[in-house]
Amino acid sequence: MNEFSKMNVPIARTSLLETEIQSVLEPLRTGWLVQGPKVREFEEKWSAFTGAEHSIAVTSCTTALHLSLAALGFGPGDEAIVPAFTWIATANVVEHLGGTVVFCDIDLATFNLDVSQLERLVTPRTRAILPVHLFGLSADMSAILAFAAKHKLAVVEDAACGFGARYKGRHVGTLGDTGCFSFHPRKAITTGEGGMITTNDAALAEKLRRLRDHGAAMSDLQRHLGARPYLLADHPDAGYNQRMTDLQAALGSAQMDRAQQIISERQRLAAVYDGAFEDLGWLRTAAKLEGYEHGYQSYPCLFQPEPVNMSSVLRVNAMRNEWMDKLQQRGISTRPATHAVHMLSYYREKYGLSPEDFPCAYVANHCSISLPLFHGMTEAEQAYVIDVVAEGFQ
């Protein structure tokens, strides 16, 4: 392969149909731009796809997590168990509410919570657990739900990457008290920024709807459709302004009409990668577990030219970074899979943490690599990535 055959393959690319682009014009023409009929339509389609009883659209997955904890009564002095390997928002929302983050290490085979370590983390102040379905693979929810029931903990599923992921036949985000999804451009369904909360608890759903809308007893849409639209709503709660706009929801709702097609395409792309890389002993691909259906928000691998552990991690990390440089020079964009949150400055300094406290999260941060995967990826783009990866890392 010579220099002239170089392609540019991004880590992700938003792929929208013309009908989806045009969908944004409807709220612009009607003049209803804020939370309104398109938000309601998007929520209804989301519930139908996931099987959730209630879906509540918000401004981001971060605000979805924040609202969930707030609605469940989490507050100052409370503790929440959070994976040490995740996007920083999972931990940040605990801090925002005055709580204490209690990190749990991960299982390197799945990049998800190591459930065998949960029991030792419980204290009298533990109030919640936030399992993350990282990269589209469900956490071990049977074990997590049993643990939560035993200790009377709230379960807030961070399903930011979880669209299309299923656990024993159920869509993630429908197993705990709430599920929280992201519509960032790297996700399968995007609204630019945006998020969704799912729950099967009607009373909790009602409270979440109030809290996202300044604590109002009814939304603007409900008030305008009612008999007395000129009367203002009561505010039983001191809520927040975390409402999705109808512009965003129109785009999200239009994409939901091909939701299964989007998921199936990402799964097909992942299967092609799996087949191409199965004999590369130095690159471990995503785990395949019975009863789990991966949604493949991304395609994370573990770079392992030698066994990876705390004694080899920095050496392997240097080799990984050199390989990522090579891929970048060949036009292929990659990323470390996500953060070891306990090593980010705020958490490291506040809690006095070191790499050895959560070694698997530290190894995953230093030795993981996400390869390009997105619906709309062409056969030529994927073939190019496979060819360059097959050349090796040296």
pLDDT over 90 percentage in the chain: 90
H-run or E-run covering 190: none
Of 36-50, 143-157, 214-228, the one with minimum mean pLDDT is 214-228
Residue 19 in this model has a pLDDT that exceeds 70: yes
pLDDT at 238: 85
pLDDT at 6: 85
Which structure tokens are listed for 301? 């691998």
pLDDT at 320: 98
pLDDT at 235: 79
- The strand pairing partners of 303, in sequence order, are 283
pLDDT at 216: 78
Residue 383 in this model has a pLDDT that exceeds 70: yes
First to last CA, the chain: 16
3-state SS, residue 142: helix
CA 98 to CA 9: how far, in whole Å?
42
Spatial contact of 214 and 243, defined as CB atoms under 8 Å apart: no
Residue 307's identity, in one-letter code, is P
Torsion of CA 47, 48, 53, 54, to 10 degrees: 20
CA 284 to CA 281: how far, in whole Å?
7
215 vs 178, higher pLDDT: 178
pLDDT classification of 219: cutoffs 50, 70, 90: low
Q: Dump pLDDT digits (tens) for 220-274.
A: 676 566 666 666 677 788 889 999 999 999 999 999 999 999 999 999 999 999 9
Which structure tokens are listed for 65? 């997590």
Q: Dump pLDDT digits (tens) for 44-54.
A: 999 999 999 99
Report if pTM > 0.75: yes
Burial of 307 (0-12, 13-18, 19+ CB in 10 A): exposed
Residue 146 in this model has a pLDDT that exceeds 50: yes
pLDDT at 166: 98
Q: Dump pLDDT digits (tens) for 331-368.
A: 999 999 999 999 999 999 999 999 999 999 999 999 99
Q: Dump pLDDT digits (tens) for 297-314.
A: 999 999 999 999 999 999
User: Strands 368-371 and 299-303: what pairing?
Assistant: antiparallel
CA 238 to CA 199: how far, in whole Å?
21
CA 60 to CA 62: how far, in whole Å?
5
Which structure tokens are listed for 161? 């990457």
